[in-house]
Each structure stands twice: as structure tokens, then as C-alpha cells.
Amino acid sequence: MIATVLTGTVLAADGEGSVLVPAVSELIWSVVFVAIIGFAFYRYALPGFQKVLDERTARIEGGIEKAETVQAEADAALARYTKELNEARAEAARIREEARVEGNAIVADLRAKAQEEANRILETGLRQIEAERQQVMVTLRADVGVLATQLASKIVGESLDDEVRQSRVVDRFLDELEASTAVSTKGK
Amino acid sequence: MFRWPTHPQESALFTAATTQLLAASGEGGGFQPPSISDFFPPPILFAGTPFEFNRIQLVRLLVTAVVVTVFVVGARRAKLVPGRGQNILELVLDFVRVNIAEEILGTEKAKKYVSLLTTIFVAILALNLAGVVPGLNIAGTSVIGLPIVLAAWVFVMYLGAGIRAHGLGGFLRTSLFPPGVPPYMYVLLTPIEFLTVFVIRPATLAIRLVANMISGHLMLVLVISATEFFLVEAGPALKAYGLVTFGAALALTLFEAFIAALQAYIFVVLAAVYLNLSIQEEH
């Protein structure tokens, strides 16, 4: 009994519809509704949402890209500043070193010049002294002869009148004087 | 699907229950049991033409209007930063795209079929849910026509996808002559595969959906009309049963809402699986 009831409803029951076999109108309306939903979705709804979705993706990707660019720029700036700082430090060290070397050179230079000046002054002094000594010796040699002759004439008196004797006495005196001068010069 | 009761006792029980139901439906007043004629209401418009318009079509028309309005307006108003309503719609779309299409077909192949799967999922979900909406009270998918149309759409799409991927001969060869099998086995396998690809897959898609919706409607109507009977017409001693059946009606309504979503999900998952079987490379 159940079998006939169910078979009747499952396959084509008269008057009533069948559970598994659609009536023509049922099929037509089903196609219409599915077509309406499909058309609305394919033509309007899904592209609309897809557009927003794509836009959102693009926006997020753009944001990430921008952040990456900014990050890269910041990194580059940091690297540049670090490099410049190191260069400045090296430059400062170099300048300090140069100044130290230059200062040393200046001091050494001045010291050498002062030494030279001192030497020069000393030499001048010595030369002057020597010159004066020569002059004194020349003067002395000229004066000593006259003085000695005068002194000897005073001591010897008239005895030295004749030419020969006078000349002999003077020569002997000069020899003696020269010898004594040599001795005294040597002794000095 | 329908399964004939084979066990004698079970069969007897079933027969008894059915007889009672059928008998009850015969009486004029009193308890109004659900019957299969719920799904074949009298025509409202165009009676006698192929465009007979009955209550089922009216429900479908309302659901279609609501779904189309909600999604088209939603898409038109869609913004970069979604509001609350847009979030819900996008949740549904994302669910189909990520959890069904991309999960089964892979991200690349899914792109082509996301529209198909999304449309079918939303249509089935909305038409199914009409079964638990007070006033409509019947699922738009509970009469076989619409499930057949949807299944036919999927059928055409997976045949087309297979032929586009492998050519007609290649598609038939990969579907009907599965590789890695001794040649004499094809005597057995090829008819089975033929039945599977050309009959069983689309038929089961349609029948699974319609059977679930029919049984859901019958259960709901049973407990609801029983509640009404117990509370309004039955004697005082039986009124307490009304509370039981009312509780059952509440629970079954929730259960049917769940089934509505589950059946939509199953339909679309199977559609994706069939598409994938058609387009995948030979192993």
C-alpha cells in the first residue's frame, strides 16, 4: 500500500504533481527565477563587489608599497648621515694631526733659527775681538819700537850716536822683543 | 533520498503512521497533517497555461526579489571601508570564494567559477530559508523544478569545463576510461562512469536538495499543526502535549535553518568538486 502511495506521488500522480518529475509550468518558472538571479548576480552584484574588493587590495598594496618606499628612504638617509658623520670625524682627526705636525715643525724651525742667530752673534763677537787684537798688535808693534828706542837712548845716552852701533842695538832689541812676543802669544 | 522500508516491523510502523496521516487528512476539520499536496498548491494565475503561477512560484518570486535587491543595492553601495550590512554580504561572498571555490579548485582555477558557485549558493540559501520564514513557510527549492534547473546549470558547466580543458575526446577518455586500470575492467567501469557523470551527479544534486526541503517542510508542518491542534481543538487532557510539540517546532525551525545553510553548502561544494573532477589533469 505504501509503495503505491509513494510511487504515485514520486512518479506522475494524476491531478497532483510529482515529487521528482516537474510540471511544465514549474520548469518554466524555475528557469525564469534562476535566470533573474543569475543575471542580476553576473551583471551587477558580483562585479560590483569584485570592484570594491580589487580597489581595497590595490589600496592596501599601495599603502604597503608606500611604507616600503618611505622605509627605504629613511634607511638611505640614515646611511648617508652616518657616512657623513664618519667623514667629518676623520676630517677633524686629520686636521688635528696636521696642526700638531705643523706646530712641531714651526717650533723646530724657530729653534733652528734661534740657534743660527746665536751662532752668528757669537761668531761676529769672536771676529771683532780678533780684529781688535790684530789692530792692538799692529799699534803696539809700531809704538813699542819708538818707545823702546826712546827708552834705550835715554838709558844708553850718547853712546849710541854712531849709526852702526845704533842699528845693531835696535835689531838686537827687536829680536828679543819678537821672541818675547812669540812666547807671550804662545803662552796666551 | 527515498529509501523503501525493508524491515517488516519498520515497514508496518511506517504504513500505520502513513495511513493515520492520510486518514486524518481526509477529514474536514480537526488535525491538519502535512501532505505532499502542500507542494502542489492550486494555481493563482494563468491556470491551465504552461505559465501556471501558484503559491510556490509566489514564494520564489518574493525570495528572488529580496535576494536581487539586497545584493544589487549592496554592490552599488559597496565602499572601500565596509559598513555593517556590506560586511555581512562580503562574509557570504568570501565564504564561497575562500572556503569552497579556492579550497576545492585552487586559487587560480577558482577565479573562473566563483561567480557560478556564489550565485548558486546565495540562491539556494535564500530559497531554502523561505521554508522557515513565517508567512512563506515553504522552501522555494522544495519542488523539483528549481533544483533541476540549478543541477542542470552545474551539469552544463562541468561538461563545458571538461571539454574546454581536455577537448571532447580527451574529456570522455578521462571521465569514462579512468587511467591505471586493467583494460578488461573497462567493461565494468565505463558504464558506471558514464552513469555517474551524465546521470547520477546531476540527479543526486537535484534530488538531495528537494528531498531535504520536502522532509523539512513536512516535519515543521507536522509539529506546528499538531501544536495548533493540541492547544486549540484537543481536549484539556491533551493540551500539555501542545507545549511539547511547540518546543519541537521551535527546535525544528532552528534545525531547518541549519539544514537550509547546510544543503546550500553541500550543493555548491559538490558542484565545485564536479568542476574540479572535469578540469583536473590526468594522473
Q: Convert the pLDDT of each residue in B102-148 to its tens digit.
A: 999 998 889 899 999 999 999 999 999 999 998 888 999 999 999 99
Helices (H) and strands (E) in chain A, counts: 4, 0
Instruction: Look up cell 547520477; give the residue.
Output: B200
Residues of A in contact with B22 (CB under 8 A): 5
Average of per-residue pLDDT values in chain A = 84
User: How would residue B282 be classed by pLDDT, with cut points 50, 70 and 90?
Assistant: low
**Closest-CA residue in chain A for B203?**
A20
Residues of chain A with pLDDT > 90, as a percent, come to 54
* Region B66-71 average pLDDT: 95
Does pLDDT of B241 surpass 50? yes
Q: Look at residue A1 in the predicted model and tell me its pLDDT.
A: 42
Taking the Cβ of residue A28 and every Cβ of chain B, the question of whether any pair is shorter than 8 Å is answered with: yes
Does pLDDT of B65 surpass 70? yes
> How many angstroms separate the CA atoms of B238 and B233, rounded?
9
**Closest-CA residue in chain B for A11?**
B144
**Closest-CA residue in chain B for A24?**
B50
Q: Is-contact B267 B202, C-beta < 8 A?
A: no
Smallest Cα distance from B22 to chain A, Å: 10
User: How would residue A85 be classed by pLDDT, with cut points 50, 70 and 90?
Assistant: very high
> How many angstroms separate the CA atoms of A72 and B163, rounded?
50
Taking the Cβ of residue A23 and every Cβ of chain B, the question of whether any pair is shorter than 8 Å is answered with: yes
**Range picked from A7-11, B7-11, B251-255 for highest mean pLDDT:** B251-255
Q: Look at residue A4 in the predicted model and tell me its pLDDT.
A: 47
Average of per-residue pLDDT values in chain B = 86
Residues 131-170 of chain B with CB under 8 A from chain A are 140, 143-146, 148-150, 153
Distances (CA, A) of B256 to A62, B57, B58, B216: 45, 21, 21, 6
Q: Which of B39, B74, B119 sits opposite A37 (nearest CB)?
A: B119
**Contact yes or no for B36 and A55 at CB 8 A:** no
* Long-range contacts at B177-184 (CB < 8 A, ≥ 24 apart): B179/B282, B179/B283, B180/B283
List B54's β-bridge partners, or say none. B43
User: How would residue B157 be classed by pLDDT, with cut points 50, 70 and 90?
Assistant: very high
Residues of chain B with pLDDT > 70, as a percent, come to 89
Beta strands in chain B (DSSP E): 43-45, 53-54
**Contact yes or no for B39 and A34 at CB 8 A:** no
**Contact yes or no for A21 and B144 at CB 8 A:** yes
pLDDT higher for A7 or A114?
A114
Distances (CA, A) of A115 to A124, A127, B166: 14, 18, 108
pLDDT higher for B228 or A37?
A37
**Contact yes or no for A49 and B75 at CB 8 A:** yes
Residues of B in contact with A38 (CB under 8 A): 119, 123, 153
Does pLDDT of B29 surpass 60? no
pTM given for the model: 0.69
Smallest Cα distance from B137 to chain A, Å: 18
Q: Look at residue A158 in the predicted model and tell me its pLDDT.
A: 54
